[in-house]
C-alpha cells in the first residue's frame, strides 16, 4: 500500500535521443521538456505499481510542470515523485527534477487506477469506430 508522503526517486543520463533537437520539441541541444515529463511520470508509476492488485495499472491523467532550467547532453538528472493526495483511485504527486546545478523542473502529476485489460479494449474499440 502506498501512503501519503511516500516517495520514489530515479536517475537518468541525458542521451542524444532525449534532446529537444532530437524530439522536435525545440532546436537546441538540451534536455527536452517532453522527456522531463516522461521521466516524472515513470517515477510516479514506479512508486505505485508494486502495490497494485493483479490486472490493475495506472494511467496519467494530468501533468502540470514548469521546466525552469536547461540541462546539457550527458548530465545526470534525479527525479522524485511524492504522493500528496489519493482517494484510492486517483493519485496526485509532487514531482521534481534536479541536475548537479539544482532544480530543473517541478510540478504535479495525477494518475488514475484502471483495469488494464478493459482499458486497452476500450482504446481498441474506439479505433475500430474511426
Residue positions annotated with a catalytic role: 33, 41, 67
User: Which grid coordinates belong to 19?
Assistant: 534532446
Residues 6 or more apart whose Cβ sits within 8 Å of residue 92 = 83, 84, 85, 86, 108, 109, 110
Amino acid at each position: 500500500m502506498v501512503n501519503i508522503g511516500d516517495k520514489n526517486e530515479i536517475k537518468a543520463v541525458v542521451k542524444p535521443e532525449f534532446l529537444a533537437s532530437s524530439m522536435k520539441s525545440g532546436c537546441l541541444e538540451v534536455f527536452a521538456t517532453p522527456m522531463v515529463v516522461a521521466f516524472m511520470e515513470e517515477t510516479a508509476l514506479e512508486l505505485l505499481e508494486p502495490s497494485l492488485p493483479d490486472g490493475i495499472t495506472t494511467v496519467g491523467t494530468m501533468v502540470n510542470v514548469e521546466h525552469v532550467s536547461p540541462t546539457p547532453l550527458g548530465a545526470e538528472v534525479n527525479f522524485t515523485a511524492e504522493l500528496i493526495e489519493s482517494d484510492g483511485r486517483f493519485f496526485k504527486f509532487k514531482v521534481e527534477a534536479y541536475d548537479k546545478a539544482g532544480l530543473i523542473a517541478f510540478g504535479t502529476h495525477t494518475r488514475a487506477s484502471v483495469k488494464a485489460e478493459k482499458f486497452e479494449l476500450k482504446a481498441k474499440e474506439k479505433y475500430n469506430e474511426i
